[in-house]
Structure formats: C-alpha cells, structure tokens
C-alpha cells in the first residue's frame, strides 16, 4: 500500500515539475539542433520514478553541434556487443555524414533518456527502425535550414559527408556544423521522413571495425573498477558462507588495528575500507565472524527432483490439434527427460561501482546493464529521492544478462554514505560467483511420436523452470502441446536456493537442447537422416533456408545416425532470428572426452547492419556455448556455492576452439533482428547430437561431461 502511495505522489510531482525538468534537461544537453524521438516503449507510470528527471514524451535524442559532430543520447550501454559501432552506422548513413562524426552518449541517467536496460539482442532490433527514422528526419531538418541559408529549394540540394550543396553548383555549400552554429532548435520526430533504401546504403551493411578498438588495445578504456576520485576508499565487505547463513556475532577488534583502516559495522553490513584495495582485503581477513547455517536441503545432484516437486501450474505456450489423438495415432512413441544445471555468467569483469555523495546527490559509476534500474536501487538503499541519484555507466566488461542486479552499486553508495568518502566496491571472483544470478537449473520432458510413414505425429513438451523462450517448436506436427511450468526465470524467491536470472538467450539454450535432441531421436526412430527428417517436418521458409545453407556450407552427406562420423545438426529461433548449425566432434570412448572440431552456423537476422560485428557475435556465441555444452555447471550445497574461481568453473579456452564457419541468409529488406544471442542456443543440442552420431550413445543432461558420456556408453552396452 505504502509503495503505491509513494508512486502516485511521485507521479504527481513528476507532472508538476515536468516543464522545469525539460528546461534543465535541454540546458544539460546544450544548444545546437536537437531532435527528439521515441524508440520502443516509453516509461509507464510505475517507471516514471526512474525517469522523473527527464521529459517523458521521447526516450532518445540527437544533437547536432556547431563543430559538426552529431551526438546520439541513449540509455543503452556497450558491453562488447558492438552497438557503439552499429547504432552509429545507421545514423551516419541516414544523415549522409561520416561514421567518425557520430558520438554515442550512453548509459548516463542524467544525460540519457530512460531505458529499461540492454539485454536480449534487442538493441539493434528495437532501435533500428526508430533510430534510422530519426536520422532521416534530422537530415530533412538540416536540408530545410540549408535551403534557407543557401536560398536554394531543398529539392535542388544534396548531402555528402555532412556538407549540403547545390546539385548544379557543388561549390555553393554549407556544412551541418555551420547550420547548427548559434542556434537552439528543438524538433520532435514526426515519423514522416523516408529512410534509405538498401541500394542507397553506404555505411550500413558494410563491415566496420569496432570504434572502441584503439582505446581497448591501449588500456585506456575505463571500466567501473578503473574510476578514481581523490580521497576514495576501497571497500571489502564481510560475506556469509552460504545464502542461508545468519550472522551471529562479529569481532572487529583485530581488523581495527590495521593502519589507516575504516571499519564499518552497521547491522549486518560489515566492511573494511582503506585507500589501498589490497589492504582493505587484508583488514577484512582479520574480522572474525560466526554464522549459523541451517542444514542443507539439496545440492546440484538432487535439485531436479526438488524442482519437479516445486513446479507450479503450467501455462500452455503453444498448441496444435489434440495431443491425445496424436499419441493414439502414433506408430512409435518416445519419452525423454532432459536436465540442465545452473550456469554462471562469469564475465571477465567482476561487478564494480564507485560512489560519491556530494551536496545530497549521489553519483555512482557502475558496471550495469540497466543503469536506470540501478539508480532506483541506489535511491532506495540511501533513502534518497531518485532525482538525487545519477548512475554513469562506463564500458562494461561483459554482461550476458548477469549485470542486471546492482547489489555492488547499492553497497558502494551505502558505504559512501556511512563513511562520508567516495567508496569503490569491486567484487573478487569469489564474490562474483557467490552473488551471480545463475541461469536456472531446468527439466524438460518430451513425449513425441511418429506415424507409420515416419512423419512427426505427436509432441507433448513440458518445461520446468527454464521459461518459455524457445519452448514452442517450429515443426509441422498436427497434434502438439507445449507447457511451461513456472515460466519466470527471475527473482531470488522461489524454489532456487539463490538468485537466478537471464543468461545469454535465457531459457532458449535449455529448450533448444531438449527439443533438438528429441527431434534427432525421432529421426533415428524413423531411420531418416537428421537434416532430411527436419526438412520433411518443417514448412517455415526461413528455417528451411538457414538449414539448407548450413548443410551446403558443411558439405553434408546424408546418412542416418549414428553414422560413426560424429556429425550433428540443430536448429532454433531466438530474438526473431532462425539459426542452424552443424558440428563435427571427436569422442574418446575410453575417457568420454568430447572435442568439437568444426562448427558451421548460418542465421537469418534480416538486414545485417554491420556484417563484421554480426559475424563476431556468432563466433562469440559458438565459442562461449562450448562451455555450457561441455563443462559449465555450478556445484552447490543448499545456499553454499562451491564454485569460487576458474580452477573449478571451467570456461572455454583456446585449445577448445573448433574451426568456425559462419554465414548469413540475407534478407536486406527485412528489419534487423537480434544477432548477439541466437547461435549460442544451438551449442548444447548440436554437440549432443554429434556425440550420438559418433558413438551411438546419447547424453540427456548438460553439460556433456566425460563422465556422462562414459555413463551413456555403458548403458548402451547393457
């Protein structure tokens, strides 16, 4: 109740201060020609708290300044996915200016309009149409101004490289910078400008190297842990042994003796602060604490039973025909259960934040994928109103969905408040594992049938805890039902002993592993080559095209599995992008070790804005995906996390690298779709299927560890 009250009061305050905010905001943005536009959703009332310092009738804007530079302000962040390049490419092309003249200003909650967060391959997908329209519109405004300035009708003008000139007298010209000189013009996108046709592209759909490359190879790029302020202290915080532990007592006497240390002890928050981070760590090691930890309920081996028991009512995600009829009419039926353990995000950059509080306003530099949510969390922690909190997001060293809970930022802010000094909190690798919101463990059960002709006839799919992304199949199965149990993958509450959350293509990795393994099982039942079987049971043109092209690039020769060649296939769809992969593996039957030798992957993501960037994302997905497929899973006992560092949590290394070949089915008139995640969803399935093809034994649980391969081989012998 109180919470709602609070929101209503804030909404009223927001309306009252709206005009003032707007002026402040324009002052912050500076002069020049400013074009406001809307991308995707605007903040709803509940979210206006997060956006209250800003006007709410747009959520992105461009500013053209008198030095001819064009700044684009968006609340997104750059974490390696390359939008600092691809978004700028779109603008430069629509504006007929050089890529170099575009500045992306991102993830600063005082400068940038509200944004929900950067995840889910959505940046390019949801931004592209509006961003391009804004660029086109800005170009029209500039043309109008140039027409006045040059006294030439706009129709007789052309633009190149940010210079507007008369077509018949190219020397009669004016630059964007000159047009912006001494002006303060505010426009709102009307949506009337026409974006460029594919044939007119100069910068989009051409490959560009990363714009942040030079600063990244010279060590100049600043991440949150690299921020420095005069007088700042580094904080190391006392952590419990388990998420279920309660602090009983704590002794800070010895830690207090460390030279120059500041010890904060406020309720359960106990921290050592020092001007040197390693000395803070040393002081923390001198704090003695006693915890009470309830007995362990279950661990990573017994979690699946626990999950099945905890599963709440299912939600039907997709349905065709009548599943009971389908089962009755099937000539052969197979039921399988697929398991997947918890996975860590394990970005190379651990969470970090630096907070300073001055004159009642907190400024926090944080590694976050959702700066506006982060701002709200900090305001709550400090008891500040949200306009008194500013979050600035420097470059983020990898996110993958893991930088959306901003505990470290709230902790830094709170410690800055308590100590009166700027405070940095930078997680150790152990803290990073401990506080990670893991990709949830999940169970999928599938009962499927083929008819007498070997065509798919029934499909009953139940997914527990992976969520419904990628759960629905895309085959032509007359009688099918897909049900998701507890489709929510977010939140610390629920059956998991720790927080779980989105992990690069959330849920879809698990769902695709289960579905594509089962499809392979049915292909074997039917005695048909796995690609042939998929094509026989699929009408979706885009999916057929990516699969066919992948087979062609690979040099696929049809054979039913197991063919002993170690070749597997999988397809899937994520973020609007159909994707297919074929992998070749080598299995050492004596040790159970799997080595992936070659992966060919094809996707159709509509218009590819930066082919180089999109290729890199696919390569990254394939390489990262080897980890969840072959080695990664989080071991735990109740709320105690056994993974503390990379000695036990094994992520892909150079020696694992297969030959990777990627290609696109190009559809240049279609809007761009997500490209940062689709390929990763296939890696579990394509390797499981290739292992089956190699040795005739199937692994039903990710990761496909040597022990599980050997176990599957032994079962086969029996």
Partner 1 sequence: MDETVQFTLNGKAVSLHVDNDRMLLWVLRTDLELTGTKYGCGEGLCGSCTVLIDGEAVRSCQTPMKSVGGKHVTTIEGLAKGEVLHPVQQAFMAHDALQCGYCTPGMIMTAAGFLSHHPHPSRGEITMGMENNLCRCGAHKRIIEAVATAAKEMEGGF
* 89 Ramachandran zone, left/alpha/beta (phi>0; psi -120 to 50): alpha
How is 558-615 classified by DSSP, letter by letter?
--PSP-SS-EEEEEEEETTEEEEEEEEEEEETTTTEEEEEEEEEEE--SS-S-HHHHH
Options 17-25, 26-34, 163-171, 272-280: segment touching partner 1 (CB under 8 A): 272-280
Task: Determine if 209 is a binding residue for partner 1 (CB under 8 A).
Answer: yes
Task: Determine if 601 is a binding residue for partner 1 (CB under 8 A).
Answer: no
Separation CA 654–CA 656 (nearest Å): 5
With respect to ligand FES, which residue has the nearer C-beta, 32 or 620?
Answer: 620
Binder of residue 217, out of partner 1, ligand FES, none (CB less than 5 to 8 A by kind): partner 1
Least Å from the CB of residue 681 to ligand FES? 20
Least Å from the CB of residue 27 to partner 1? 32
With respect to ligand FES, which residue has the nearer C-beta, 80 or 613?
Answer: 80
Task: Determine if 218 is a binding residue for partner 1 (CB under 8 A).
Answer: yes
If we measure between CA atoms, which residue out of 662, 655, 584, 587 comes closest to residue 622? Answer: 662
* Interacting residues with ligand FES (CB under 6 A): 80, 348, 398
With respect to partner 1, which residue has the nearer C-beta, 317 or 618?
Answer: 618
- Tokens representing 453 are 């002709």
Least Å from the CB of residue 395 to ligand FES? 10
Sheet holding 70-74, edge to edge: 102-106, 70-74, 60-64, 32-37, 184-188
Task: Determine if 210 is a binding residue for partner 1 (CB under 8 A).
Answer: yes
Q: Which residues pair with 390 in a beta bridge?
A: 363
Which of 186, 200, 266, 278 is in the footprint of partner 1 by CB under 8 A? 278
Which of 23, 202, 214, 246 is in the footprint of partner 1 by CB under 8 A? 214
With respect to partner 1, which residue has the nearer C-beta, 222 or 557?
Answer: 222
Structural contact between residues 672 and 615, judged by C-beta atoms closer than 8 angstroms: no
List the interface residues with partner 1, window 76-135 (CB under 8 A). Answer: 79-82
Task: Determine if 664 is a binding residue for partner 1 (CB under 8 A).
Answer: no
If we measure between CA atoms, which residue out of 574, 436, 585 comes closest to residue 502? Answer: 436
If we measure between CA atoms, which residue out of 466, 536, 539 comes closest to residue 508? Answer: 466
Which of 14, 39, 307, 347 is in the footprint of partner 1 by CB under 8 A? 347
Structural contact between residues 177 and 187, judged by C-beta atoms closer than 8 angstroms: no
- Tokens representing 32 are 């020049």
If we measure between CA atoms, which residue out of 703, 601, 688 comes closest to residue 652? Answer: 703
- DSSP 8-class letter at 199: G
Separation CA 585–CA 588 (nearest Å): 10
Which of 620, 674, 675, 684 is in the footprint of partner 1 by CB under 8 A? 620
With respect to ligand FES, which residue has the nearer C-beta, 348 or 557?
Answer: 348
With respect to ligand FES, which residue has the nearer C-beta, 257 or 348?
Answer: 348
Separation CA 415–CA 237 (nearest Å): 10
Using CA of residue 430, residue 434, residue 437, residue 442, what is the dihedral sign?
A: positive
Least Å from the CB of residue 429 to ligand FES? 8
Task: Determine if 350 is a binding residue for partner 1 (CB under 8 A).
Answer: yes
Separation CA 591–CA 246 (nearest Å): 43
Task: Determine if 651 is a binding residue for partner 1 (CB under 8 A).
Answer: yes
Options 75-83, 490-498, 585-593, 689-697: segment touching partner 1 (CB under 8 A): 75-83
Q: Coil, strand or helix: which one is 130?
A: helix
316, 323, 458, 460 from 320: Cα distances, Å: 11, 8, 10, 10
Binder of residue 210, out of ligand FES, partner 1, none (CB less than 5 to 8 A by kind): partner 1
Task: Determine if 584 is a binding residue for partner 1 (CB under 8 A).
Answer: no
Least Å from the CB of residue 348 to ligand FES? 4
Least Å from the CB of residue 214 to ligand FES? 15
With respect to ligand FES, which residue has the nearer C-beta, 381 or 431?
Answer: 431
- Tokens representing 559 are 């054979």
With respect to partner 1, which residue has the nearer C-beta, 228 or 715?
Answer: 228
Q: How many residues bind partner 1 (CB under 8 A)?
A: 58
Other C-beta atoms closer than 10 Å to the C-beta of 491 total 11
- Tokens representing 319 are 């349905």
- DSSP 8-class letter at 439: B
Which of 37, 365, 395, 475 is in the footprint of partner 1 by CB under 8 A? 395
* 493 Ramachandran zone, left/alpha/beta (phi>0; psi -120 to 50): beta
Which of 400, 475, 533, 636 is in the footprint of partner 1 by CB under 8 A? 400
Binder of residue 177, out of partner 1, ligand FES, none (CB less than 5 to 8 A by kind): none
Separation CA 36–CA 62 (nearest Å): 7
Separation CA 118–CA 109 (nearest Å): 14
| Pairing state between β 577-588 and 567-574 | antiparallel
Binding mask 417-446 for partner 1 (x = CB under 8 A): ---------x-xx-----------------
Binder of residue 653, out of partner 1, ligand FES, none (CB less than 5 to 8 A by kind): partner 1
- Binding stretches for partner 1 (CB under 8 A): 79-82, 209-210, 212-214, 216-223, 225-226, 228, 234, 275-279, 346-350, 395-398, 400, 426, 428-429, 612-613, 616, 619-624, 645-647, 651-655, 657, 660
């Amino acid at each position: 109740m109180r919470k709602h009250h609070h929101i209503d009061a804030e909404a009223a305050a927001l309306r009252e201060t709206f005009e003032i905010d707007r002026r402040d905001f324009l002052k912050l943005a500076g002069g020049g020609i400013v074009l406001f536009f809307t991308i995707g959703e605007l903040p709803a009332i509940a979210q206006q708290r997060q956006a209250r310092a800003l006007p709410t009738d747009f959520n992105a804007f461009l500013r053209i300044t008198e030095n001819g530079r064009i700044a684009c302000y968006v609340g997104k962040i750059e974490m390696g996915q390359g939008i600092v390049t691809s978004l700028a490419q779109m603008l430069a092309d629509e504006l007929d200016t050089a890529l170099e003249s575009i500045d992306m200003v991102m993830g600063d909650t005082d400068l940038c309009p509200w944004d929900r967060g950067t995840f889910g391959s959505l940046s390019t997908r949801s931004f592209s149409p509006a961003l391009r329209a804004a660029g086109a519109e800005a170009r029209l405004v500039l043309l109008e101004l140039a027409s006045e300035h040059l006294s030439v009708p706009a129709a007789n003008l052309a633009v190149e490289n940010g210079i507007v000139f008369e077509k018949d007298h190219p020397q009669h010209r004016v630059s964007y910078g000159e047009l912006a000189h001494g002006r303060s013009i505010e426009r709102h996108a009307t949506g009337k400008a026409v974006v460029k046709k594919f044939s007119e592209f100069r910068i989009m759909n051409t490959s560009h190297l990363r714009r942040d490359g030079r600063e990244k190879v010279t060590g100049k790029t600043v991440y949150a842990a690299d921020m420095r302020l005069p007088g700042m202290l580094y904080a190391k915080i006392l952590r419990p042994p388990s998420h279920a532990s309660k602090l009983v007592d704590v002794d800070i006497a010895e830690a207090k003796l460390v030279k120059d240390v500041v010890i904060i002890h406020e309720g359960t928050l106990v921290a050592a602060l020092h001007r040197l981070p390693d000395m803070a760590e040393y002081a923390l090691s001198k704090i003695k604490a006693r915890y009470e930890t309830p007995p362990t309920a279950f661990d990573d081996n017994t979690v699946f039973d626990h999950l099945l028991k905890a599963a709440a009512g299912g939600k039907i995600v997709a349905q065709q025909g009548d599943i009971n009829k389908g089962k009755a009419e099937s000539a052969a039926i197979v039921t399988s259960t697929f398991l997947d353990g918890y996975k860590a995000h394990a970005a190379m950059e651990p969470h970090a934040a630096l907070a300073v509080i001055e004159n009642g306003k907190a400024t926090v530099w944080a590694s976050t994928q959702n700066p506006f949510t982060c701002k709200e969390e900090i305001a709550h922690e400090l008891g500040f109103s949200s306009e008194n909190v500013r979050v600035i997001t420097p470059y983020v060293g990898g996110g993958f969905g893991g930088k959306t809970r901003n505990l470290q930022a709230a902790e830094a802010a709170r410690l800055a408040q308590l100590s009166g000094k700027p405070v940095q909190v930078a997680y150790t690798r152990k803290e990073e594992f401990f506080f990670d919101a893991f990709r949830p463990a999940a169970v999928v059960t599938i009962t499927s049938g083929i008819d007498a002709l070997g065509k798919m006839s029934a499909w009953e799919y139940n997914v527990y805890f992976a969520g419904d992304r990628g759960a629905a199949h895309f085959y032509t199965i007359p009688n099918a039902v897909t049900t998701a149990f507890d489709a929510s993958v977010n939140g610390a509450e629920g059956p998991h002993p720790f927080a779980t959350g989105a992990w690069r293509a959330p849920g879809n990795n698990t769902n695709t592993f289960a579905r594509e393994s089962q499809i392979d099982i049915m292909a074997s039942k039917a005695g048909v080559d796995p690609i042939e079987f998929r094509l026989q049971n699929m009408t979706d043109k885009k999916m057929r095209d990516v699969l066919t092209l992948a087979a062609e690039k690979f040099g696929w020769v049809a054979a039913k599995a197991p063919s002993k060649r170690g070749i597997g296939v999988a397809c899937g769809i994520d973020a609007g992008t159909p994707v297919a992969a074929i992998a070749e593996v080598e299995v050492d039957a004596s040790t159970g070790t799997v080595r992936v030798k070659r992966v060919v992957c094809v996707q159709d993501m509509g218009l590819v804005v930066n082919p180089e960037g999109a290729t890199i994302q696919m390569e990254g997905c394939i390489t990262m995906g080897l980890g969840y497929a072959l080695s990664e899973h989080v071991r735990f006992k109740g709320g105690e996390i056994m993974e503390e560092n990379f000695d036990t949590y094994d992520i892909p290394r150079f020696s694992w690298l297969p030959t990777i070949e990627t290609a696109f089915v190009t559809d240049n008139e279609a809007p761009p779709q997500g490209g940062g995640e689709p390929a990763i969803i296939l890696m579990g399935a394509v390797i499981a299927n290739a292992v089956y093809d190699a040795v005739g034994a199937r692994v039903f649980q990710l990761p496909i560890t040597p022990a599980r391969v050997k176990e599957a081989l032994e079962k086969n012998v029996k």
